[in-house]
Amino acid sequence: MVRFLIRRVMLGILVLWLVTLAVFFIFFDLNSSGPESVAHRLGGRQATPQTIKLIEARLHLKDPLPKQYWYFLFGYPGQDVANGPPRNHGILPIGGSPHFFHTPDLGYSYINGENVNHKLWIAFPITFSLAIGAAVLWLGMGLLSGIWSAIRPRSLLDRGFTLTALFFYSFPTFVLGYVLLLLLYYYLTKAGHAWFPAGTYIPFTSDPWQWARHLLLPWFTLAAVTAAAYTRLTRGSMLDVLGEDYIRTARAKGLPERRVVFRHGLRAALTPIVTQFGIDLGSLLGGAIITEKVFSLPGLGYEAVAAITSNDLPVIIGVVVIATTAIVAANLVVDVLYAVLDPRVRLH
């Protein structure tokens, strides 16, 4: 198990490295020269060639690409304050000065010089809150309705759940988001019932109740689409399992039906659901672009879109690193959970 874990972590790091490498080279290659280049954008339309030169020199934009990649990994050597923003650390937690070991430094935004670490440190909790709340909601809704449907297949309730699931499944997030905003925020607030505030994020640490209230609509928007998929997944998985011989054995043992369904049925049906859940949650932690945009939540997805439209490479790479880490970590957790859930894949 330990060897398996080590192998998976190494593999995850390799994936992370390849992804950042790809993003780095694509963006630098595309943006090294021409009117759309980083230096031109930073200098603005009126920039003199001198200004452009100065920017290129300060950001080392004309250095050879491998050298720039080295800066990205380990920071600029011998950098002083007069020559641009201090950047003695790179994205790797080792190397650079004055301390050999440090937290990965994602550098400074090209647009406003903001520390990317700091920027993402603010954005990540928003995305995290959004993802976790939505995940709890969709898992709860999906599992409950899916199990119910599987216990009484082709019943009125099953058909109702299937219909609801298909309805939300085919609902684009941006439409559902705006519909909810219109009905539950705009009309309700206009009618004097401000139950669902919108547009701001209240940190959990400052007021958990307000945190939840402000996130309720985005949670539901995100959860409704995904819960629909989970209803179908749970229903299918449960129906398969409930038809298994060992379920008949459990009934033949004289176990109460509830124990048969949950202890014997759900336990086995959970494996594919857990797998899917890990992947979904992981990719959501990299930012829910549409939902964040619709509800004006400045999370990772929101920052990513802003950074991409302005070619703000350090921020783009920062978001990519976090998103990739989240997905790799989620997959690792899924693999471990898989072994915990199913003794047949347990590795010794």
Partner 1 sequence: MALLEVTDLTVSFSTPDGTLNAVRGLSFTVDEGQTLGIVGESGSGKSVSTQTIMGLTRGARVGGQALFEGHDLLTMNTHQLQAIRGAQVGMIFQDPLSSLHPYYRVGWQIIEMIRSHDKSTSKAQAKARAIELLRLVGIPQPDRRVSDFPHQFSGGMRQRAMIAMAMALNPKLLIADEPTTALDVTVQAQVLQVMKRLQQEFGTAIIMITHDLGVIADVADDVVVMYAGKAMEHADRNTIFYKHHNPYTEGLLLSLPAYGGERERLLPIAGQPPSLITLPQGCPFRPRCPYAFDKCMEEPPLVEIAGDPEHVSACWLPPDMKKREKMRQQLLDRDKAATAPAAAR
Query: Under DSSP, is residue 90 helix (H, G, I), strand (E, B) or coil?
Result: coil
Please give the distance of CA 175 from its chain centroid, rounded to a whole number: 21
Residues in 224-283 at the binding interface with partner 1, rule: CB under 8 A: 244-246, 248-257, 259, 264, 267-268
251-255: which pairs have CB atoms within 8 A and are 24 or more residues apart? none
Residues in 3-32 at the binding interface with partner 1, rule: CB under 8 A: none
Query: Under DSSP, is residue 276 helix (H, G, I), strand (E, B) or coil?
Result: helix
Which C-beta is closer to partner 1: that of 67 or that of 259? Answer: 259
Residue 341, interface with partner 1 (CB under 8 A)?
Answer: yes
Residue 296 — left, alpha, or beta (φ > 0 → left; ψ -120 to 50 → alpha)? left
**Peptide bond between residue 153 and the one before it cis (omega within 30 degrees of 0):** no
Contact 308, 110 (CB under 8 A): no
Which C-beta is closer to partner 1: that of 80 or that of 245? Answer: 245
Which C-beta is closer to partner 1: that of 192 or that of 343? Answer: 343
Neighbours of 243 (CB within 10 A): 9
Contact 22, 93 (CB under 8 A): no
Residue 155, interface with partner 1 (CB under 8 A)?
Answer: no
Which C-beta is closer to partner 1: that of 268 or that of 328? Answer: 268
Q: Which amino acid is it at 105?
A: D
Closest CB 156 distance from partner 1, rounded Å: 16
Query: Under DSSP, is residue 115 helix (H, G, I), strand (E, B) or coil?
Result: strand
Question: What is the dihedral angle through the alpha carbons of 300, 301, 306, 309, rounded to the nearest 10 degrees?
Answer: 130
Query: Under DSSP, is residue 94 helix (H, G, I), strand (E, B) or coil?
Result: strand
Closest CB 262 distance from partner 1, rounded Å: 13
Closest CB 346 distance from partner 1, rounded Å: 8
Which C-beta is closer to partner 1: that of 114 or that of 342? Answer: 342
Q: Which stretch binds partner 1 (CB under 8 A): 18-26, 64-72, 328-336, 337-345?
A: 337-345
Closest CB 244 distance from partner 1, rounded Å: 6
Which C-beta is closer to partner 1: that of 62 or that of 346? Answer: 346
C-alpha–C-alpha distance, residues 239 and 235, integer Å: 6
Reading the block at residue 26, the tokens are: 């694509």
Q: Which residue has the tokens 């599992």?
A: 143
Which C-beta is closer to partner 1: that of 308 or that of 339? Answer: 339
Contact 148, 165 (CB under 8 A): no
Closest CB 254 distance from partner 1, rounded Å: 3
Closest CB 275 distance from partner 1, rounded Å: 15
Closest CB 235 distance from partner 1, rounded Å: 17
Closest CB 214 distance from partner 1, rounded Å: 41
Q: With CA atoms as reference, report the closest residue to 165 among 140, 142, 143.
A: 142
Which C-beta is closer to partner 1: that of 131 or that of 250? Answer: 250
Closest CB 257 distance from partner 1, rounded Å: 7
C-alpha–C-alpha distance, residues 288 and 252, integer Å: 47
Q: How many residues bind partner 1 (CB under 8 A)?
A: 21
Which C-beta is closer to partner 1: that of 98 or that of 254? Answer: 254
Q: Which parts of this chain interact with partner 1 (CB under 8 A)?
A: 244-246, 248-257, 259, 264, 267-268, 341-344
